[in-house]
Structure 1
Amino acid sequence: MTMLIGSCAKSLPAPVVVDTACSWVRIIYLTDHDIDVLDKQTKRDILAHNKAVQANCP
């Protein structure tokens, strides 16, 4: 009697990991009008966002 274990012994290729963490994040650019009408907190938030993008998504 022959045991059929060959189908379980296949070596699979290593998984490919694709880093998409930065694919949906972009620098926020402001126009002169934006700068005039946005409040200070929003400008600070945009600055923090832009710094984080530059630091984490080269």
Structure 2
Amino acid sequence: MKTRLQFRKSSFSDPNHECVEIAMNVADIVAIRDSKIPDGPTIRLSPASWGAFRAALATGALDL
């Protein structure tokens, strides 16, 4: 049986604009998608990888 992911936007997002959405499920997967394309592709990460990504964003390590 396929589990449907429940995506959500950040509380910092403007509800009228595009945003990245995430979904976390009990199978230890964090899924990321573009809110403009809800039926499009998703990126799936382990919780550890998601945590490392968030930490890199918070420290500015990914700033261009």
Q: Which TM bucket (shorter chain)?
A: 0.3 to 0.5
Please identify which structure carries the higher strand content. Answer: 2
TM-score normalised by the chain length of structure 2: 0.31
TM-score normalised by the chain length of structure 1: 0.34
- Structure 1 or 2, whichever has the larger Rg, is 1
